[in-house]
């Protein structure tokens, strides 16, 4: 048990489910919604040195434990939600900016290249951390640099994309690194092309993903040379359930959570899918989802 965190910017025992797309999980011991870097520093300075700290973006790639998170959850609001398209085509965005909004802001200024973000409901910070991507592109291809604060030292630096270690749905960043903002490179594009590309992306998502459900996108990373969805489908696991969690019947690499589902249901289903795919193919799937807080066992399955 660590010492107390007292700050006017911090609330105690705040339910986190509503801040995630799965809509499950317990409370954060502390939650701070900060408007700028000064507030972020003030909260970190008030926190006991051994208190775990985690930045939550739009919660579209996480499962929060039913027990919650025994530490400080930070959400970036205020100036972190600003986006600006420069005359040079460089788009500057705070880490809290939603990716579809980022893409639309660029398109409204006649700039293209970020359309693949339209179907990804994460934030700029989450995209940098996860190297989010889709439709043949990823964050590494469009990012110029990111402004990052390392929590223990509080140092802030601008890190060029090459130094972020971005790989397939991964980066060299750890939970100690807070992405504060990022700059993206765009290309000139005519409105008709952007419009048809956006419609195409929306259509593809509608046809291939269980829209309108509680999910967190792809559960597992694709193993080299194949897709996790195909392996799960071929193992006959579409529709497999644990409590209120189910393998989507539309896209086998999506889990959907019904009303009343728990984080434990999702954890157990992820483990069960992993075990059954491994038994059928010898391939051990690696989760793309991030589990926040305490779960039984070190990893699902
Ligand atoms: C319907 C749906 C479709 C999806 N499709 C795709 C897709 O096509 N491609 C894809 O890549 N992903 C997809 N995802 C997953 C998800 O949107 C991405 O992984 C996204 O990048 C996560 O961003 P987030 O802000 O929601 O991060 P969160 O889920 O809030 O957090 C994910 C991780 O990033 C960290 N993080 C968040 N913000 C910051 C920050 N500012 N600084 C440091 N660390 C931070 C968190 O601590 C956590 O470790 C999809 C999800 C859904 C629900």
| Count of other CB atoms within 10 angstroms of residue 152 | 9
Q: So what's the pLDDT on residue 64? A: 98
Q: Is 248 in the pocket of ligand 1 (CB under 6 A)?
A: no
CA distances from 160 to 10, 147, 166 (A): 32, 9, 11
Q: What backbone phi and psi angles, to 5 degrees, belong to 42?
A: -60, -40
Average pLDDT, the chain: 96
- Residue 60 known to be catalytic: no
pLDDT exceeds 90 at position 173: yes
Nearest one of 123, 34, 35, 32 to 79, comparing CA atoms: 35
Report the nearest atom of ligand 1 relative to the CA of 180: 41
Question: Distance, CA 60 to ligand 1 centroid (Å)?
Answer: 5
Residue 165 has pLDDT above 90, yes or no: yes
* Residue 2 in this model has a pLDDT that exceeds 90: no
Catalytic option among 33, 115, 268, 288 = 288
**Residue 1 has what pLDDT?**
59
> Which atom belonging to ligand 1 lies closest to the Cα atom of 60?
26
Residue nearest to atom 9 of ligand 1 (CA): 133
Q: Which of 169, 197, 242, 264 is flagged as catalytic?
A: 169
CB 116 within 8 A of CB 139: no
**Between residues 301 and 136, the one the model is more confident about:** 136
Tell me what pLDDT residue 3 has.
77
Q: How confident is the model at residue 301 (pLDDT cuts 50, 70, 90)?
A: confident
In short, whether 181's Cβ falls inside 6 Å of ligand 1 is no
Is the distance from the beta carbon of residue 54 to the nearest atom of ligand 1 less than 6 Å? Answer: yes
pLDDT tens digit string along 212-254?
899 999 999 999 999 999 999 999 999 999 999 999 999 999 9
Partners of 178 in beta bridges: 149
pLDDT tens-digit map of 11-45: 999 999 999 999 999 999 999 999 999 999 999 99
Cα 43 to ligand 1 centroid, rounded to whole Å: 23
Instruction: Please say whether the beta carbons of 54 and 175 come within 8 A.
Output: yes
Ligand 1 touching residue 229 (CB < 6 A): no
| pLDDT value, residue 197 | 92
Task: Measure 128 CA to ligand 1 centroid, in angstroms.
Answer: 9
pLDDT, position 149: 98
Which residue has the least CA distance to atom 28 on ligand 1? 59
Tokens 């520093």, residue located: 41
């Amino acid at each position: 048990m660590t010492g107390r965190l007292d700050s006017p910017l911090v609330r105690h025992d705040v339910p986190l489910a509503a801040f995630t797309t799965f809509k499950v999980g317990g409370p954060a011991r502390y939650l701070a919604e900060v408007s700028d870097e000064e507030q972020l520093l003030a909260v970190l300075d008030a926190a006991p040195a051994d208190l775990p700290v985690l930045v939550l973006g739009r919660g579209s790639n996480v499962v929060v434990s039913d027990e919650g998170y025994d530490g400080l959850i930070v959400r970036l609001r205020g100036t972190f939600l600003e986006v600006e398209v420069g005359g040079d085509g460089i788009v500057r965005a705070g880490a809290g900016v939603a990716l579809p909004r980022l893409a639309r802001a660029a398109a409204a200024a006649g700039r293209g290249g970020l359309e693949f973000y339209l179907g990804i409901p994460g934030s700029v910070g989450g995209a940098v951390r996860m190297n989010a991507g889709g439709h043949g592109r990823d964050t590494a291809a469009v990012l110029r640099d990111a402004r990052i604060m390392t929590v223990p030292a509080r140092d802030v630096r601008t890190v060029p994309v090459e130094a972020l270690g971005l790989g397939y749905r991964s980066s060299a960043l750890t939970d100690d690194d807070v992405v504060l903002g990022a700059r993206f490179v765009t290309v000139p594009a005519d409105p008709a092309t952007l419009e048809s590309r956006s419609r195409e992306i929306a259509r593809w998502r509608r046809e291939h993903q269980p829209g309108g459900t509680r999910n967190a996108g792809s559960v597992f990373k694709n193993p080299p040379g194949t897709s996790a969805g195909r392996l799960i489908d071929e193992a006959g696991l579409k529709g497999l359930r644990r409590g209120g969690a189910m393998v989507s019947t539309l896209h086998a690499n999506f889990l959907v959570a019904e009303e009343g589902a728990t984080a434990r249901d999702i954890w157990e289903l992820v483990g069960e899918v992993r075990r059954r795919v491994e038994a059928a193919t010898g391939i051990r799937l690696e989760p793309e989802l991030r589990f926040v807080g305490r779960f039984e066992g070190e990893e699902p399955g």
